[in-house]
A = this chain, B = another copy of it.
Amino acid sequence: MQKNVLIVYAHPEPTSLTSQFVAVAQQTLQAQGCDVMLSDLYGMGWKTVFDACDFPDRIEPDRLSLITESGHAYSTGQQTDDVVAEQQKLLAADAVIFLFPLWWFGMPAILKGWIDRVYAYGFAYGYKNEGNRYRYGDGILKGKRAMLSVMVGGPAADYTAYGINGQLEALLFPITHGNLFYTGMDVLPTHAVYGTGRITAAGIAAAKEVWRARLTQLFDEVPIPFRRQNGGDYPDGHTLAESITSGRTGLMVHRRDTLGELAI
């Protein structure tokens, strides 16, 4: 069956490595028979800042509550067209790939602004108007796959388990777990290209080969085994049962393969 893939990407330079990776993904996925949708945030001039302009017809004109207005606009069909278009792409997608340079250990602001605005109340959170009932493994995007593909200027050593920046997958946990898994998506391990600040032509060619190979597994790879909110590990829906953690803490306790990970 034909799969739909959404690529959301953020880089202002059309010849950047990020942009080249987008082109590789388009070609590779189309060759596999996928339909590829693109959200080129710089190219689209994506409105980055979440503010009162997002809600021209306010339910509370005197004081801006973003949650209230987001929920109102979503439920009454009064969201701005650009936000609706991105939500429709997400709903149509079987997999979503976010391609961006790692800037200061996170997303470029324009991509964070995509999350801030597209992740409406009633859609990405407060699904079915049931508070936190559907999140972390359940939600409107359940059953879809998501992957971050990041271009990292610094060397890989700095992002290892003992690397001075912190381990990449832990630095990205607020995104992979908090933004993607939150909405129900299955999140694949992050794809990273390191040392892009000094990469050679041969290095780029090699990195593209690895990326092509990775993409062929997009619908077959095993996702990060994040624990589902409603799977029994969080009896009250808020905190992990202490019996599970064996006294360990840290972000990785929220993965089912935690103990192995931390025992390294």
Instruction: Check B112–A109 contact: CB distance below 8 A.
Output: yes
CB proximity to B under 8 Å, residues A237-263 = 237-240, 242, 245, 247-254, 261-263
Sort chain A's interface into a size bin.
Answer: 35 or more
Task: Report B-chain residues with C-beta under 8 Å of the C-beta of A173.
Answer: 166, 170-171
- Having A16-B64, A164-B238, A164-B254, one finds 18 other A-B pairs with CB under 8 Å, namely A12-B51, A48-B49, A50-B109, A103-B115, A103-B116, A107-B112, A157-B238, A158-B238, A161-B249, A162-B249, A162-B253, A164-B234, A166-B173, A166-B174, A166-B251, A167-B251, A247-B263, A249-B262
22 A-B pairs, CB-CB below 8 angstroms?
Answer: A12-B66, A48-B110, A104-B178, A105-B179, A106-B107, A106-B174, A109-B109, A112-B112, A162-B239, A162-B240, A162-B242, A162-B249, A164-B229, A166-B177, A166-B251, A167-B251, A171-B173, A171-B251, A174-B174, A250-B250, A250-B252, A251-B251
A32 at the binding interface (Cβ < 8 Å):
no
A202 at the binding interface (Cβ < 8 Å):
no
CA distance A72 to B136 in the complex (A): 44
Instruction: Check B251–A250 contact: CB distance below 8 A.
Output: yes
A76 at the binding interface (Cβ < 8 Å):
no
Task: Report B-chain residues with C-beta under 8 Å of the C-beta of A211.
Answer: none
- A64-B12, A251-B251 are known contacts. Are A178 and B153 too (CB-CB below 8 A)? no
CA distance A15 to B12 in the complex (A): 35
Instruction: Check A104–B115 contact: CB distance below 8 A.
Output: yes
A85 at the binding interface (Cβ < 8 Å):
no
Q: Which B residue sits closest to A10, measured CB to CB? A: B49
A113 at the binding interface (Cβ < 8 Å):
yes
Task: Report B-chain residues with C-beta under 8 Å of the C-beta of A107.
Answer: 106, 112
Distance (Å) between the CB of A162 and the closest chain B CB? 4
Q: Which B residue sits closest to A52, measured CB to CB? A: B12
A119 at the binding interface (Cβ < 8 Å):
yes
Most buried by B among A52, A66, A167, A240: A66
Instruction: Check B237–A164 contact: CB distance below 8 A.
Output: yes
CA distance A177 to B166 in the complex (A): 9
Task: Report B-chain residues with C-beta under 8 Å of the C-beta of A165.
Answer: 178
Task: Report B-chain residues with C-beta under 8 Å of the C-beta of A170.
Answer: 170, 173, 250-251
Task: Report B-chain residues with C-beta under 8 Å of the C-beta of A171.
Answer: 173-174, 178, 251
